[in-house]
Amino acid sequence: MQGIVCKRCEVIVYDLNKLNVTADAKEKAANYGIHSVPSIVVDGKQEDIELLKKNNLLHQWFRKKAVD
């Protein structure tokens, strides 16, 4: 993700595949309704990563968000 987003953007990665997932990461995943990984949440909204990847829009989408 760091290579996709702008330098001003903050990226926090929660690795939900680890055996020792923190309580904070579990709580955030539950709050966002995440049931599968990888998932992307931007400004509190879960984005459809498969749609973005399918249409090759992931880089463009993050660049647009950085400008907004």
Collect all residues with Cβ–Cβ distance below 8 Å to 52 and sequence separation of at least 6: 40, 58, 61
Tell me whether residue 50 is exposed, middle or buried, using C-beta atoms within 10 angstroms of its C-beta: 0 to 12, 13 to 18, 19 or more.
Answer: exposed
Tens of pLDDT, residue by residue over 8-19, are 777 788 888 888
Tens of pLDDT, residue by residue over 17-29, are 888 889 988 898 8
What is residue 14's DSSP assignment? -
Tens of pLDDT, residue by residue over 30-60, are 998 888 888 888 778 887 877 777 766 666 6
Whether the pLDDT of residue 1 is over 70: the answer is no
